[in-house]
Chain A
Amino acid sequence: MSSLTNIVKKEFREMLTKSTIIPVILMAVMFGYLGSMMGDVEQEVSAAPVVGLVDLDDGVISDIAFKVLNASSDMAYNGTDVDAGLEEVKEAGGVALIVLPANFSSDILNGSRGYIEVYWMMAGAGMLDAISSSSVNTLLGSMSYSISAYLVNESGEADPAVVLFPVERSDTTIFQGKVMEDVSPEFLITMLSAQSFTVPFIIMMIIIMAGGMVISSMGLEKENKTLETLLTLPVSRGSIVSGKLVASALVGLVMAGIYMVGFNYYMTSIETSAEIDLAKYGLDLGPVDFVLVGVSVFVSLLAALSMCMVLGTYAKNYKSAQTLTMPITLLAIIPMFITMFKDFGTLPLALQAVLFVIPFSHPMMAMRELMFGNYALVLAGIAYVAAFAVVMIAITVWIFKTDRLLTGSMKGKGLAGLLLKRR
């Protein structure tokens, strides 16, 4: 074997370990799943949207509108009762109810724009949740185009401004029981973009940074050979664990604060909706909501750190500690992406379960869920994450009381050999 081959072989063995491969495999699986989720969205885009039509006009122009809508959508309701239409569309899992008023045709034919009302049934506030409403927007564009074509053919002397844009509309969005007038789904999603992007991003950063610090701290204790001394001092194992957790949590929160200021500045700089008043639409948070968000963040941070402490006990040194942060990074990134793109309520059941089980998902979702009054999900999340943190802390304290910290796993011949060496 040549010297070069020898070195390559040694480096290869060092770099290609279980702990480096497993996170990559998990990442590949995650992207595969995200890909299939995107595939579902593509299907959603190509499928005919489910809509309802309330035609109070029954004129020549509304007939054109009906034909266009009927040809390109799955029409769940076609009648004259708005309330019945809303009910039917809702039951069919539809996207919108389009209302053509009594004077729709006459207004347009008399040279004015026709006004329509669109009631949007919004399923979720994630970025991908706007896809279905985009399909209906396209449909409404086609309807407007067909009316324009009719006007060009039938009345050559009409006002060009009306011919080009014959329809104006007002949007009312119904989302999680809230009826928001003059709000389109796109507008609502833009309004909530701070919650969709900033919160999950900041939570992810806190968890990765604070978690990384805990694992590194354990790795450094082992690498610098300070752990044995620490464990023989007159201080309880619980205090050692708590001390590490509290310090990391504080540093994590300070870092998160710095990130939050920077990221918030970035978001407000690029957002055109910066001046939107959420309170106007009943989407502001009260003091109790903020307390719940704070509790959710705190218990999640505690869960993350205690989980990192458990992982940290596997760290042999600083280098291996860095590798051990990978599972935490993945568990922070997965819910961040999911909550950015989709609402919890619009996810498939399996993905909802995955999201719920990952303790870091809950603070990412909490703010948006509280805006729409989903206290049950937020409180259940807090209870679950708190229980998770308690279990993790108990496991950590238990590990600190065993030989595991100093001897590693207690099984296998390889370890026995290692112990022999250590003695």
Chain B
Amino acid sequence: MSAIEVRDLVKDYGSFRAVKGISFDVREGEVFGLIGPNGAGKTTTLRIIATLLRISSGSVQVFGKDLRREPHEVRKILSYLPEDAGAYKNLTGREYLQFIADFFASGRAADEIVRKGIEIASLSDRIDDKVDTYSKGMTRRLLVSRALMTEPKLTILDELTSGLDVINAQEIRKTVNAISEKGTTVLLSSHNMLEVELMCDRIALINDGRIVELGTPAELKGKHSASNIEEVFTKVVMA
């Protein structure tokens, strides 16, 4: 079974068509990258799969569950990390993780989720400080831990390492890879082509609401005689 099946997906905002009939599959357990220039339709696609936006036409299935008919069931098995997400500033890091964990489990099971979250966040004693006092990197780590601590079947990560320094970005990538190895399917979007090349099993390049390339990093590089994905990106988008 595919983790995600997208068929002829269209998204209109009034008279503006943001996504123009895209189709792709994400296999169970793989890390799938969605790349493209600004305004190509990446975030809209991710938001649709995350049940935030309604489908104009076409269909999306997540682990066999239809997004239109069973959005609540889909929410039980996915986690979504938006690009510019934030956490509740009046809570401590631990309280924030507890707040989220309580939606997925109760009692000891919820405590176990929080323990995992604290481990992933690696904020040491600062986990008990208010989120308001966190740096951007600390907040992002907290949010990544929030997205991964429940060990979802599918995690959708929009600009995973946005605004992070090299060290923080590396740590977060390692964490995501580790979760993926345990079986979580990862759908990510990034403007960092090196990150995409390092992390993704397969990549879809989306431009002007359409998927214009899809394959493994090696396949895409070979097809376009490029030394890296950034070159592939430039050649496809500028063509």
Contacts of A234 in B (CB 8 A): 72, 75-76, 103-104
Asked whether B29 is an interface residue with its Cβ less than 8 Å from the other chain, the reply is no
Given the known interface contacts A229-B82, A232-B75, A232-B78, the answer about A423 and B18 at a Cβ–Cβ threshold of 8 Å is yes
Smallest distance from the beta carbon of B139 to chain A beta carbons, Å? 10
Which of A233, A412, A420, A421 has most B Cβ within 10 Å? Answer: A233
> What CA separation (Å) do A9 and B64 show in the bound complex?
55
Contacts of A26 in B (CB 8 A): none
> What CA separation (Å) do A420 and B43 show in the bound complex?
10
Contact flags (1/0) for B62-84 with A, using CB distance below 8 Å? 00000000001001101111101
> What CA separation (Å) do A228 and B146 show in the bound complex?
13
Smallest distance from the beta carbon of B197 to chain A beta carbons, Å? 23
> What CA separation (Å) do A228 and B80 show in the bound complex?
8
> What CA separation (Å) do A407 and B53 show in the bound complex?
9
Contact flags (1/0) for B81-125 with A, using CB distance below 8 Å? 110111111000000000010011000000000000000000000
Question: Chain A's interface: helix, strand, loop or mixed, by majority?
Answer: loop
CB neighbors of A among B29-53 (8 A): 38-44, 47, 50-53
Contacts of A224 in B (CB 8 A): 86-89
Asked whether B27 is an interface residue with its Cβ less than 8 Å from the other chain, the reply is no
Contacts of B81 in A (CB 8 A): 229
Contacts of A411 in B (CB 8 A): 14
List the A residue with the shortest CB-CB distance to B84: A225
Smallest distance from the beta carbon of A393 to chain B beta carbons, Å? 19
> What CA separation (Å) do A85 and B223 show in the bound complex?
106
Smallest distance from the beta carbon of A239 to chain B beta carbons, Å? 10
Q: Are A232 and B51 in contact (CB under 8 A)?
A: yes
Q: Are B13 and A415 in contact (CB under 8 A)?
A: yes
Asked whether A18 is an interface residue with its Cβ less than 8 Å from the other chain, the reply is no
CB neighbors of B among A374-423 (8 A): 402-403, 406-407, 410-412, 415-416, 419-423
Asked whether A350 is an interface residue with its Cβ less than 8 Å from the other chain, the reply is no
- Pick from B18, B38, B41, B88: contact of A226, CB under 8 Å: B88
List the B residue with the shortest CB-CB distance to A416: B16
Q: Are B103 and A407 in contact (CB under 8 A)?
A: no
Asked whether B221 is an interface residue with its Cβ less than 8 Å from the other chain, the reply is no
Contact flags (1/0) for A202-240 with B, using CB distance below 8 Å? 000000000000000000000011101101111110000
> What CA separation (Å) do A235 and B72 show in the bound complex?
7
List the A residue with the shortest CB-CB distance to B77: A234
Q: Are B86 and A226 in contact (CB under 8 A)?
A: yes
Asked whether B135 is an interface residue with its Cβ less than 8 Å from the other chain, the reply is no
Asked whether B54 is an interface residue with its Cβ less than 8 Å from the other chain, the reply is yes
Q: Are B14 and A228 in contact (CB under 8 A)?
A: no
> What CA separation (Å) do A225 and B163 show in the bound complex?
15
List the A residue with the shortest CB-CB distance to B146: A229
> What CA separation (Å) do A395 and B75 show in the bound complex?
22
> What CA separation (Å) do A361 and B162 show in the bound complex?
50
> What CA separation (Å) do A103 and B101 show in the bound complex?
88
Q: Are A232 and B103 in contact (CB under 8 A)?
A: no
> What CA separation (Å) do A419 and B17 show in the bound complex?
11
> What CA separation (Å) do A105 and B41 show in the bound complex?
97
Q: Are B85 and A231 in contact (CB under 8 A)?
A: no
- Pick from A235, A236, A406, A410: contact of B52, CB under 8 Å: A406
> What CA separation (Å) do A412 and B51 show in the bound complex?
24
Smallest distance from the beta carbon of B49 to chain A beta carbons, Å? 10
Contacts of B52 in A (CB 8 A): 228, 231-232, 403, 406
Q: Are A233 and B16 in contact (CB under 8 A)?
A: no
> What CA separation (Å) do A403 and B52 show in the bound complex?
7
Q: Are B43 and A422 in contact (CB under 8 A)?
A: yes
Smallest distance from the beta carbon of A270 to chain B beta carbons, Å? 39
- Pick from B14, B38, B86: contact of A412, CB under 8 Å: B14
Contacts of B40 in A (CB 8 A): 423
Smallest distance from the beta carbon of B195 to chain A beta carbons, Å? 19
Given the known interface contacts A231-B52, A233-B75, A423-B40, the answer about A407 and B86 at a Cβ–Cβ threshold of 8 Å is no
Smallest distance from the beta carbon of A416 to chain B beta carbons, Å? 4
> What CA separation (Å) do A416 and B13 show in the bound complex?
7
Smallest distance from the beta carbon of B88 to chain A beta carbons, Å? 6
Q: Are A421 and B39 in contact (CB under 8 A)?
A: yes
Smallest distance from the beta carbon of A19 to chain B beta carbons, Å? 22
- Pick from A226, A406, A415: contact of B47, CB under 8 Å: A406
- Besides A224-B89, A407-B53, A423-B43, 9 more A-B contacts (Cβ < 8 Å) are A224-B88, A225-B86, A232-B75, A235-B75, A235-B103, A406-B52, A410-B14, A416-B14, A423-B18
